[in-house]
Amino acid sequence: MVGIVQLLMAVFRLSFLTAYLSDQLIGGFTTGAACHVFASQLNKVIGVPVKKYNGLFDLYYTLRDIVEGVPHTNMPTLVVSIVAFIFLLVGKEIINPKVRKHSPVPIPFELIAVIVATAASHFFNFEGEYKISVVSHIPTGFPEPKLPRLDLIPQLLGDAVSVAVVTFVVTVSVGKLFAKKHGYVIDSMQELRALGAIQCIVSTLSCHPASGGLTRSVLNSQIGVKTQISCLFSGSLLLVVILWLGPLLEPLPMCVLSCIIIIALKGMFMQLLDLKTLWPVSKIDFAIWLVSFVATAGWDVTEGLIISVVFALFTVIFRLQWPKTVELGRLPHSDLYRDVTRYNAADLVEGVRVMRFDSPLLFTNIEIFKRRAHKLVEPREQPVKNGSRPVKALVIDGSGFTCIDCMGVGALKEVSQEMKSKGVKVYFASCKAPVRDLFESSGFYEVVPKARFYPSIHDAIIYALCEGIAEKKEEQPISQISHL
């Protein structure tokens, strides 16, 4: 069922859902997921059994049980774990960097650790003599292929849709993480089709739905895997193990596997350093990372992902609701207009105000737009260079309008009419073609004539001054602009 849902998602091209997975969301989500992986392996390192928790604060309860179980640590298990940690850290952090200077193939210390630990466990009877937990029985052979029970579709359809969406989003989020790290691009539609196909195939073999695995992906990245051909070798080896070699790996200590996984998570936890760079750059992106991390670590992977996406969408609404409004001034001896708060040399043109609204003009922010437009033409309490005379013209820089909805068009009409009652004429500059088309179809030009629209701010101001709207008798402002 999960496979069918994902194939239908591919048919209707719903892969666009991944567009809402920003780098910050993925970073916080994968770091939070790494916390769950770490906690699930930590008890095996010290040989303390813990209860399996699900739901809110399951990570806290797991860590609490581990801390409470420290007095009951299995010392032989801890010794084996320490030896494995030292071996892997020295090999991966000290020896392999030197080896890579002379060879593109690193030494597979993880494989060496597995072989040595399995042999030692077999000859010294780790499980019987020292109570060290081992992999134990590995069944051989394949389950008998059979069709899924179709009578369960009504009861499981809702869960199947949820699993289909979550497995797809998790797979793409993990894929994006490593695509960014290794410098390649993933095709979310291709991933969706592949997931749907594989789910349909494995459903006949009593397998659970497939998804991108964070732990395995991290481990592959750590040992230098570059292509999916590695899956061919690992799958072939797994096939051999399932059919014939399973019993040989039964003595493998679980703590050694846990050490391999925990060390592979180092790169995930290093993402915490992203917070230091995000804070001065963007407080909103910082919040997305932090909320994604806390939600995933504090609850669970599925719930954390849902909360993260919802919060990311909320930040989009927030940015649209309270966008930046810029007052523009003219740079001396040019026809360029820049933010007066950033350019000290930018001067206001007497009697004219220039406004840019850096956002689509939608029903969510029209009140903000109208309020700021009226505030811009009000008399200033503090004297401003070239801004002491009453405002008689407002030029709206339309380059910030990527799109406008019907209520946005209505807001522009209202502003134009309200400004007219104040004795202020409204001009438009640099409007995009789709916006002008919308004005044409909505009858906007009946309120604001086309003669008020100009290709640049400079042209609009020259026309306003030539109309005498600036109400300055001297010729300086007009000549100062027109001679350029």
Least confident range from 35-49, 271-285, 311-325, 461-475: namely 461-475
pLDDT value for 469: 44
Q: Report how far residue 275's alpha carbon sits from residue 12's, in angstroms, rounded to the nearest whole number.
A: 37
301 inside domain = no
- 449 and 339 together in one domain: yes
- Report the candidate in 398, 397, 382, 388 with the shortest Cα–Cα distance to residue 351: 388
- The predicted-structure confidence for 1-55, as pLDDT tens digits, reads as follows 888 988 988 888 887 777 777 889 988 988 998 999 999 999 999 999 888 888 7
Confidence of residue 234 (pLDDT cuts 50, 70, 90): confident
Q: What is the model's pLDDT at position 385?
A: 56
R_g (Cα) of the chain, nearest Å:
32
Residues comprising the chain, all counted: 484
Let me know whether 220 and 329 are in one domain. no
Same domain? For 462 and 369 the reply is yes
Looking at the fold, whether 231 and 339 belong to one and the same domain comes out as: no
Q: Is the pLDDT of residue 390 over 60?
A: yes
297 belongs to a structural domain: no
Using pLDDT thresholds of 50, 70 and 90, give the confidence band for residue 383: low
Same domain for 332 and 207, yes or no, is no
Is 282 within the bounds of a domain? no
pLDDT at 14: 81
Instruction: Report the pLDDT value the prediction gives residue 122, as an integer from 0 to 100.
Output: 92
Please say which residue of 250, 270, 290 terminates a domain.
Answer: 270
**Of 227, 245, 270, the domain-final residue:** 270
CA dihedral 173, 175, 176, 179 (to 10 degrees): 170
Q: Which residue type does 91 have?
A: G
Split at pLDDT 50, 70, 90, the class of 164 is: confident
**Residue 210 sits in the same domain as residue 145:** yes
Q: Quote the domain boundaries for residue 443.
A: 323-482
**199 and 260 belong to one structural domain:** yes
**Beta bridge partners of residue 308, listed in sequence order:** none
Q: For the residues 131-135, what does the mean pLDDT come to?
A: 92
Question: What pLDDT was estimated at residue 382?
Answer: 53
Examine the domain organization and report whether 260 and 148 are in the same domain: yes
pLDDT digits (tens, 9 = 90+) for 396-424: 999 999 899 999 999 999 999 999 999 89
The neighbour count for residue 68, using CB atoms within 10 Å, is 11
pLDDT confidence tier of residue 374, bands split at 50, 70 and 90: very high
Structural domain count, the chain:
2
Nearest to 47 by CA among 249, 251, 255, 250: 255
Query: Any idea which residue has 């109400």 for tokens?
Result: 471
Please classify residue 387 by burial: count the beta carbons closer than 10 Å to its beta carbon, then call 0-12 exposed, 13-18 middle and 19+ buried. buried
In this structure, are residues 4 and 204 in contact, taking their beta carbons and an 8 Å threshold? no
Structure tokens at 282: 């963007």
- Between strands 453-454 and 425-429, the pairing is parallel
Residues 222 and 341 in one domain: no
Q: pLDDT value at position 299?
A: 87
- 204 and 347, same structural domain? no
pTM of the predicted structure, to 2 decimals: 0.75
Q: Please report, for the domain that includes residue 474, its CATH number.
A: 3.30.750.24
User: What proportion of the chain, given as a percentage, has pLDDT over 70?
Assistant: 94
Q: Are residues 36 and 138 in the same domain?
A: yes
Is residue 310 assigned to a domain? no
Do 115 and 228 belong together in one domain?
yes
Is residue 236 included in any domain, yes or no? Answer: yes
Classify residue 121: in a domain, yes or no. Answer: yes
Q: Is residue 448 part of a domain?
A: yes
CA 17 to each of CA 44, 245, 286, 313, 460: distance values in angstroms, whole numbers, following the listed order: 37, 42, 22, 11, 41
- Residue 183 is assigned to a structural domain of this protein: yes
pLDDT of residue 155: 81
